[in-house]
Structure 1
């Protein structure tokens, strides 16, 4: 794993490979294959060639989550981000995001993607209203909008979700970092998010009146 991205980490050091139990459970569907369903793909399951073909041809619905910590009055006291290794081996700061699967409700998609990245004891407070605070349209061509995803054209419904529980990085997530939105470092925190994710955080804070 390369840690030579040059991106300063605000709180803790990025964990080394040997800090993790290589055999730990990393995701809800890690041990599930289509063969477990009698040889046919279960609803929502697409193999890699098929999802890559679809990504090249049609927009993909996504949910994107800005995780927050709140005080007793529901005011945002910190904003969370994920640290991951990108395809070039550099550390990137991003948000929780993922596809909406076939026959999956938006609430189920939000809950599943949070559990995938933060673990099963994050205890997210799911939104009562499914109206997103913004919609971000990611294009695979740079410059068409402030949102860019080289893999696909995706339409992301964006939600703020309070996370009162413990976060245990899962799947491809190395670490979870939090920043006080009133701290002077929040601008650096947001600027480290590439491809428009920082703009989503700014919209989230403005929508919440922070």
Structure 2
């Protein structure tokens, strides 16, 4: 899941970004309403976390602009404005939730999981490619019934391949979907993570599923089914 955080409190924004990254989410940060609107317009995010007190505009105005421009990405408001009138206004403008500052990271994570469930029904699907299984609700992965322990980043990478098996994904595509916008694209971090992921997914099995397409990218072999 890729999240856009729009908040002008840089210290708080970076703290939340770190916490959400550790929980397995990719997070882009915008420190102004204009920057937030520009990033939101790209359509690459699954959720927007929006502060209301922004320089030069308000979160209410930004939310209205998002909807006027046809950007229907779910928005959760994070704000120190805690009067009922603010909550009601935000929800009426189309926000899916309103979390009052200050809050604990665990509560934010629980609210995000609720949004995820709401987007896909009461339970997220379980994906199968060959004998590889990914449960998007419990975030568990197994192959031929054998549990595979993945780091949050490895889970995000595998999720991209499970979504579209058979398709070659380039390093640039994986970077865009899984890492933050300030990621050093010249580093070998993607290759290192893919090496570790391949070992976990394929080691000990007769048929490898993750393969390198030389000069192009990586591919997960098989066909997707879900339950």
TM exceeding 0.5? no
TM-score (norm 1): 0.27
Larger radius of gyration: 2
Of structures 1 and 2, the one with the larger relative CO (CA 8 A, separation 6+) is 1
TM-score (norm 2): 0.26
The structure richer in helix per residue is 2
